[in-house]
Amino acid sequence: MSKIILPTSFEGKTLFVAGAAGFVPSTLCQFYLDLGAKVIGVDNFITGSHSNIEILAKYKNFEFHEMNIYQKLPHLSSTKIDYIYSLASPASPIDFEQIPIEIMRVNSEGTLKLLELTREKGARFLEASTSEVYGDPEIHPQEEDYVGHVNPIGPRSCYDEAKRFAEALTMSFHRRYKVDTRIVRIFNTYGPRMRANDGRVIPNFITQALQNKDITIYGDGSQTRSFCYVTDLVQAMHTVMMSNDPTPFNIGNPDEYTIKKCAEEIIKVLASKSKLAFLPLPKDDPKKRRPSILKLQKISDFKPQVIFDDGIKITAEYFKKELLKH
């Protein structure tokens, strides 16, 4: 099978990115702006940050609209759009507790609006789904044809089931209206521009380590995760967007760490004096999480480039500056 050849320039192309002020989406916007594309970003700042938009606003080809995508989208009747990225969704465990209805609405009503826009424009659409669609998996590592083990009424279900709905809606538009769609299932990603207090493992551990505070581990730390540095993830998303396969692709970094090992590594890399502190494991916390990315690697040369220690150092630099601001 011949592998995808990625274009080196996006001059003349226009992208619409929902969730542009967020961690992954703002990094993706910058990637395409650097390739010469025009990028139209939309965000309501529910979890995104103004400082990310300030970085993007330095590019003359960036246009921004502050709005809630499940209520409305900008008027773009005379604008040609080539690619639409559906990335607007809160994604961290604290959000599941605090804004579950907003999460369900953006992934259902918001995704519907984006798919309708895609159909109207004859564009190509990519849905940013998640490894959470596998729930607490019974097989390991997870391949794309595994249908998952999700609790539909558990505390994470607002996110897991909303993303499963978004995938189903995407495939329905593809099957019913022949809309050109792609789906990625993103595994844990980290890097600069994450929120320091968003409850995800890496920001928690780094900010605790930088302050020499106890590193809080839920459970005994034997549960595993695989962490992908954000620029590698963006490269994988771009590769899937450029493919011609509408079925889901796992994207992430298959290097697997126990949570305890991850904490110990962060303490070592940052020369921190933090100690480990163990707390009870929350309900429905997945025990194992590692992507199989063989499907993507069959059609492309994708390989994560940033090793964990390097990614942690760069991310810690970002959090150091953030801590100084507050």
Ligand X SMILES: NC(=O)c1ccc[n+]([C@@H]2O[C@H](COP(=O)([O-])OP(=O)(O)OC[C@H]3O[C@@H](n4cnc5c(N)ncnc54)[C@H](O)[C@@H]3O)[C@@H](O)[C@H]2O)c1
Residue 291 DSSP symbol: B
List strand residue ranges (DSSP E) for the chain, in order.
14-18, 38-43, 62-66, 83-86, 124-130, 180-186, 189-190, 215-218, 224-226, 228-229, 249-251, 256-258, 276-279
Q: Is residue 106 near ligand X by the rule CB under 6 A? A: yes
How many Cβ atoms from other residues are within 10 Å of residue 17's Cβ? Answer: 27
| Cα diameter, the chain | 58
Q: Which of 14, 30, 89, 224 binds ligand X (CB under 6 A)?
A: 89
Q: Is residue 41 near ligand X by the rule CB under 6 A? A: no
Q: Is residue 70 near ligand X by the rule CB under 6 A? A: yes
Contact map string, positions 158 to 197, toward ligand X, x by CB under 6 A: ----------------------------x-xx--------
Stretch that binds ligand X, among 38-46, 54-62, 279-287, 308-316 (CB under 6 A): 38-46
Q: Is residue 45 near ligand X by the rule CB under 6 A? A: yes
Q: Which of 30, 68, 253, 274 binds ligand X (CB under 6 A)?
A: 68
DSSP string, 130-195: EGGGGBS-SSSSBPTT---B--TTSTTHHHHHHHHHHHHHHHHHHHHH--EEEEEEE--EE-TTS-
Task: Name the residue nearer to ligand X (CB basis): 221 or 291.
Answer: 291
| Residues 132 and 148: beta-carbon distance below 8 Å | no
Contact map string, positions 4 to 33, toward ligand X, x by CB under 6 A: ---------------x-xxxxx--------
Task: Name the residue nearer to ligand X (CB basis): 202 or 270.
Answer: 202
Q: Is residue 315 near ligand X by the rule CB under 6 A? A: no
Residue 226 DSSP symbol: E
C-alpha 56: how far from chain center: 18
Stretch that binds ligand X, among 42-50, 77-85, 141-149, 304-312 (CB under 6 A): 42-50
Task: Name the residue nearer to ligand X (CB basis): 188 or 208.
Answer: 188
Q: Is residue 130 near ligand X by the rule CB under 6 A? A: yes
Is 83 among the residues known to form the active site?
Answer: no
How many Cβ atoms from other residues are within 10 Å of residue 2's Cβ? Answer: 5
Which is nearest to 42 in space by CA: 14, 76, 18? 18
Half-sphere exposure of 24 (CA within 13 A, CB side): 29
Which is nearest to 43 in space by CA: 23, 27, 74, 20? 20
Q: Is residue 204 near ligand X by the rule CB under 6 A? A: no
| Residues 249 and 295: beta-carbon distance below 8 Å | yes
| Residues 124 and 82: beta-carbon distance below 8 Å | yes
Task: Name the residue nearer to ligand X (CB basis): 124 or 132.
Answer: 132
Contact map string, positions 223 to 262, toward ligand X, x by CB under 6 A: ----------------------------------------
Q: Is residue 48 near ligand X by the rule CB under 6 A? A: yes
Task: Name the residue nearer to ligand X (CB basis): 130 or 272.
Answer: 130
Least Å from the CB of residue 227 to ligand X = 9
Q: Which of 43, 144, 160, 322 binds ligand X (CB under 6 A)?
A: 43
CA distances from 9 to 167, 218, 231, 238, 268 (A): 29, 44, 17, 12, 40
Least Å from the CB of residue 104 to ligand X = 11
Rg (alpha carbons) of the chain, rounded to whole number:
19
Q: Catalytic one among 85, 159, 190, 257?
A: 159
Give the active site residues: 159
Q: Which residues bind ligand X (CB under 6 A)?
A: 19, 21-25, 42-48, 68-70, 87-91, 106, 110, 128, 130, 186, 188-189
